[in-house]
Amino acid sequence: MKSYAKLNIFLKITGTRGNYHEISSRFILYKSLFDKIYFEKSEFQHSGEDLNIISNIKINGENIINKAFKELLKTKFKDKISDFFKTHKMILEKNIPMGAGLGGGSSNAAAFLNLTNQTLNLNFSKKELIEISKNIGSDVAFFITEFESANVSGVGEIVENFNDDIPNLEVFTPSIFASTPEIYAKFRSDFIDNIDLNLAKKLKTLSTKEILKKYKNYELNDLLAPFQAINPNFKLKENEFFSGSGSSYFKIKGKI
């Protein structure tokens, strides 16, 4: 199963909810960049309490995919899921860079949930999988839907399909690892007075093409300013736009 990257065409902070930040954002799947996830029969039996993940990158035990697995074990299909993963391993071919604002980890967790649901015929609806994802990560719900474009709000759990007009985009990822919690903490401490609810509301109604034609990069992503405060050497050209909490950015390929 392909596990696609995402881009934030805009990302506006609309408030706070405890330690979380409420957002209004346009997420699109960036299908030119993806990881692959699939299951294979294991050579030996596992405990069924943790996933056996084989990957081209180093995976720690508390990764987001294992988190998704643990949430599935809380459901009525616990025994069926555990029995399957006693005899199967998960292969993760990683291409999406980490700490880049492209949602790679959340995409992997969602792909794991969708693939497990299909492979084991669990018959969870998308709505049920989104409910399971609430304890995993804020962007997972979007990837579960498999929408190509959506308006995402709340703390990431409200995902509304959007009939979009998306130009051809090109993505760049500098060698800067962005810590999402650090970027959000910087926003809360230094930039929270910049919240613009009216702009957030207006952007939801516009297509991606319209947004990128009409607005400047610093107007569209509230996390750009805190990211640049932490990484003062990071600069964007006028036709380049920041995704998520960074460090990736994108531009329109060719003429709009």
Q: Which residues are catalytic?
A: 6, 139
Cis peptide before 247, with omega less than 30 degrees from 0? Answer: yes
Place of tokens 């988190």: 67
Residue with tokens 């294979």: 40
In the chain, alpha helices (H): 64-72, 78-86, 104-119, 126-133, 140-145, 180-190, 197-203, 208-214, 217-220, 224-230
Pairing verdict, β 2-17 and 240-242: unpaired
Residue 97 neighbours by CB distance under 10 Å: 18
